[in-house]
Amino acid sequence: VGEWFGAWRAWDGIRALDYLLSRPEVDRRRVGLTGNSGGGTMTTWMWAIEPRITMAAPSCFVTTFTANFENELPADCEQYPPGVVGSGLEMADFIIARAPDPVLLLGQQYCFFDLRGLEEAYGEVRSFYDVLRVPPENARLFVGPRRHGFFRENQEAMVDFFCCHAGLKRPKRVARIVGLGAAAVNVTPKGNTVAAGAVPIYTQTARRATELRDRRPAPAADRLKTLLAECLHLPERKKLLPPHFRVLRPAHLQGRTIARYMVETELPARALLHKRMSDASRAYSLDVEKTVHLLLPHVSSAEDLVSDPLGHASEGRHSLYALDTRGMGDFMPEAERRNFTYPYGMDYMYHGYGLLFGESYLGRRVHDVLSTLDLLVSEGARDIHLYGRGQGALLALFAALFHSRIRKVVLKNAPLSYGDWTQAPLVAWPAANFPRGVLHHFDIPDCIRALGEKVTLRQPWGPDMKPLRAEQARRRLKQLGLPLRRLSRS
């Protein structure tokens, strides 16, 4: 729906501040904000946008986006502000935005947020404050001796800093810290906002998606392509030259020779094209037929060529190609297949980094497909049949809208609607498959309709990435205004 969880949380903080400042015992001139990890995140964002906060001490969050990139550190979704890095911003800029107001950056010696990045961020803040001739005590750095967490040393540094800038005496150190316990600090009776009457976020998202659906016009075919290209942030493909490819050593699957070609779609990114060979002696050249059948797998070409019926449907009738786009199949950075859909895995992280740049990881995968199709056409293909399964079905659907040589598209285990995902509290599909803001403009049924008779659907998957029952699939197609003839019985 084009919104960001971090903005929702920041708004919650702003509204909480509204209430806090309405109380008679609160001094509006002295308002400090602190928090650790996720709380440090929200302290950083709110510090930049909420002038009523007079001093801040974010803990165990501030470093540099660059350090997180280099360390391959995944983050929470509220730590991925869309487009922030693409706009040329760094974390320090959110602190500098409030110069010369008092700020203390807190970290830990053994925190997973890189200490070097924290020191670099502080150096930028300190330099900016120095240019403004701000007293040194207005921008400070404290690094505790522990792991990630708001431990005693950091708490004491924060209290000292706030007391200094509030004009209060430094409090006496306590010999022992006593935890208050949940009953003393819970704001709601059970420590749960939904149980206290709040509307769950997934319900709010569902309502917003329904509003967008009800007022969204069905886009014409040309307009749909424009909207999709913008939503996926597709880079421009080279019009004259197909991508360069390398001929790799062949592989062997279940006694069959698989030729392999590394396609340079967008260096340093590459895609890996596989071809199941009927004649193993030709595995070191790319001989493309006039009619090409290309499989886009759910996760891995090697896996789908062996275990999925789509990989066997053409056996003995024609050659079958399969494509691993960036981050999939042989490009998976994690050895274990089960880690691919892990919420804090590498695929999730790449998607998050794409958001930071204001780009789309999904869009770059579609670009890999389109560039490979360009290569196949340059090598002699006239008609291309696309087969996509799961995540690959989305790639096939979107790529088919942009390439004129596509004659047939088979979508197996495809989602029928992004809108359906918004109506479910939990969605099992990897985050990379969510194009940001898509429901402002179109939904999957619009793409299916635009392809007309080219499309066949097989065993659609729901938000849980499990097959819909046959009757359930037919009913949903009817509700979405899609002809039942698009649904294959096989």
Cβ atoms of 1 and 209 closer than 8 Å:
yes
313 and 416 assigned to the same domain: yes
Q: What is the mean pLDDT of residues 149-178?
A: 93
Residue 210 belongs to a domain: no
* pLDDT exceeds 70 at position 391: yes
Average pLDDT over residues 361-366: 98
Give yes or no: residues 17 and 164 share one domain.
Answer: yes
- CA gap 193, 100 in Å, rounded: 36
The 3-state secondary structure of 239-252 reads CCCCCCEEEEEEEE
pLDDT at position 210 over 80: yes
Residues 6 or more apart in contact with residue 302 via CB below 8 angstroms: 251, 253, 258, 274, 329, 330
Report pLDDT for 490: 67
Contacts of 451 (CB under 8 A, 6+ apart): 397, 400, 401, 409
pLDDT score of 314 more than 70: no
Whole-angstrom Cα distance, residue 266 to residue 271? 9
Position 200 in a domain: no
Segment 11-23 shows an average pLDDT of 97
Q: Give the C-alpha separation, 479 to 490, whole Å.
A: 22
Q: Which of 156, 185, 214 is the last residue of a domain?
A: 185
Contact indicator for 63, 122 with CB cutoff of 8 Å: no
Q: Which domain holds residue 75?
A: 5-185
Beta bridge partners of 336: none
Do 305 and 399 sit in the same domain of this protein? yes
Per cent of the chain over pLDDT 90 is 86
Q: How far apart are CA 143 and CA 68, in angstroms?
A: 18
5: its two tokens? 């969880």
Is 286 within a domain? Answer: yes
**Cβ count near 333 (within 10 Å):** 13
d(CA 370, CA 376): 10
Residue 316 has pLDDT above 70, yes or no: no
Question: Is a pLDDT exceeding 80 seen at residue 315?
Answer: no
Q: What is the DSSP letter of 30?
A: -
CB crowding 105-133: b at 16 or more within 10 Å, else e: bbbbeebebbbebbebbbebbbebbeeee
Q: How far apart are the two ends of the chain, measured CA to CA in Å?
A: 34
Instruction: Indicate the range of 46-60, 306-320, 324-338, 428-442 predicted with least confidence.
Output: 306-320
Interstrand relation of 256-266 and 269-276 (parallel, antiparallel or unpaired): antiparallel
Instruction: Give phi and psi for 162, each to the nearest 5.
Output: -65, -40
The answer to whether 327 and 347 are in contact (CB under 8 A) is: yes
Contact 25, 51 (CB under 8 A): no
The reply to whether 268 falls in a domain is yes
Using the structure block, give the residue that is written with the tokens 């981050």.
Answer: 327
The verdict on 137 and 244 lying in the same domain is no
Domain assignment of residue 108, yes or no: yes
| 3 state SS of 198 | coil
Burial class (CB in 10 A: 0-12, 13-18, 19+), 177: exposed
Residue 245, domain member (yes or no):
yes
Is residue 214 a part of any domain in this protein? no
Per-residue pLDDT, averaged over 208-225, amounts to 96
Q: Same structural domain for residues 247 and 384?
A: yes
Based on DSSP, count helices (H) and strands (E) in the chain, helices before strands: 16, 12
Confidence check: pLDDT of 393 > 90: yes
On the question of pLDDT at 443 being above 90, the answer is: yes
Nearest Cα to 372, choosing from 212, 224, 260?
Answer: 260
CA distance 146 to 155: 12
Phi, psi of 411 (to 5 degrees): -110, 105
CATH number for 174: 3.40.50.1820
**Least confidently predicted of 93-107, 262-276, 307-321, 473-487:** 307-321
What does the angle CA 233 – CA 266 – CA 443 come to, to the nearest 5 degrees?
30
Please determine, for residue 239, whether its predicted confidence score (pLDDT) is greater than 80: no
Confidence of residue 342 (pLDDT cuts 50, 70, 90): confident
Confidence tier at 254 by pLDDT (50, 70, 90): confident
Are 256 and 135 members of one domain?
A: no
227 plus 295 within the same structural domain: yes
Strand blocks (E) in 88-208: 103-110, 139-147
Confidence of residue 176 (pLDDT cuts 50, 70, 90): confident
CB atoms within 10 A of CB 363: 22
Boundary of a domain, candidates 129, 155, 185: 185
CA 136 centroid distance within chain:
39
- Quote the pLDDT of residue 411: 97
> How many domains are contained in the chain?
2
Average pLDDT taken over every residue of the chain: 94
One domain, residues 370 and 468: yes
Averaged pLDDT for residues 252-261: 92
Q: Do residues 41 and 180 share a domain?
A: yes
pLDDT band at 489 (very low <50, low <70, confident <90, very high): confident
β-pairing, 291-296 with 320-324? parallel
What average pLDDT does the segment 131-143 reach? Answer: 96
Separation between Cα atoms, residue 317 and residue 180, nearest integer Å:
72
Residue with tokens 């502000």: 81
Q: Is 197 within the bounds of a domain?
A: no
CA separation for the pair 131, 139 (Å, rounded): 13
Q: Which of 121, 155, 185 is the last residue of a domain?
A: 185
Same domain, 172 and 249: no
How far lies 389's CA from each of 203, 370, 395, 408, 413, in Å?
Answer: 29, 17, 9, 14, 6
Whether the Cβ atoms of residue 52 and residue 28 lie closer than 8 Å to each other = yes
Residues 157 and 283 in one domain: no
Rounded to an integer, the average pLDDT of 320-332 is 95
161 and 250 share one domain: no
Bigger pLDDT: 430 vs 337: 430
Q: Please answer whether residues 432 and 346 qualify as being in contact, where contact means their C-beta atoms are separated by less than 8 angstroms.
A: no
Q: How high is the pLDDT of residue 175?
A: 84
Confidence band of 360 (pLDDT split at 50, 70, 90): very high
Query: Per-residue pLDDT for 22 more than 90?
Result: yes
